[in-house]
Amino acid sequence: MGRMFRDRHDAGRVLARKLDTYAGRRDLLVLALPRGGVPVAFEVARALGAPLDIFLRKLGVPGYEERAFGAVASGGVRVLDSEMMRRARISEAAVITATHRELDELARRGELYRSGRGPLAVQGRTVVLVDDGLATGASMRAAVQALRMMGPAAIVVAVPVAPAEACQELSYVADEVVCAAMPRPFRNVGEWYDDFSQLTDEEVVRLLTEAGDR
């Protein structure tokens, strides 16, 4: 089975071509789900001529952190997936603990990644929400719900690769969903990348700084 993308930057350039109708729009904002979504979103923002920022921390199921039962965003916004919480038997105490932990981490990363700048305003803007791929789509669903509470004009979910079912489900909550590739069978996001290595905080800071300088 061949890989689709060399790395996240390559995937971002491919994805950007699927979003070219948004190029040059004055109200456009690109938001990345950190950390993996940042290089993808960097290329999308560059191609579309839009500002770039980061968004969200997911609340992971204990022991299965890649499964989101909710998310927190800048400004203390929190959304919870009651169905996932019920299935995973997550207690109220665990929710409170996870919320405090992820809000603290969001504040830490926001301070570090933005070098002291505040988050970009989303109200009334068309927001392209970018990650490096979807598996279940749970994190992205939580991101869309959290972002919706902040009053954007429209939310466009954009990812390089995802299962068709996840893209379909997201179409019920986002205004538009752009999945560059929907291969079958689909096991995990990393299988479609030659290089899917973890990003460091330093790499994220460098990309956000470069995007800000543009």
pLDDT digits (tens, 9 = 90+) for 14-41: 999 999 999 989 999 999 988 899 999 9
Strands 176-181 and 154-161, how do they pair? parallel
First to last CA, the chain: 38
Structure-block tokens of residue 170: 């997201």
In a domain, 184, yes or no: yes
In a domain, 79, yes or no: no
Name the residue range of residue 165's domain.
8-55+120-213
Q: Which of 45-54, 76-85, 138-147 has the lowest mean pLDDT?
A: 76-85
Angle formed by the axes of helices 201-213 and 37-48, to 10°? 10
Total domains, the chain: 1
Helix (H, G, I), strand (E, B) or coil at 167: helix
CATH number, domain containing residue 146: 3.40.50.2020
In a domain, 115, yes or no: no
In a domain, 110, yes or no: no
CA geometry: angle at 111 spanning 109 and 115, to 5°? Answer: 115
Residues 140, 159: contact at Cβ < 8 Å?
yes
In a domain, 136, yes or no: yes
* pLDDT, position 65: 65
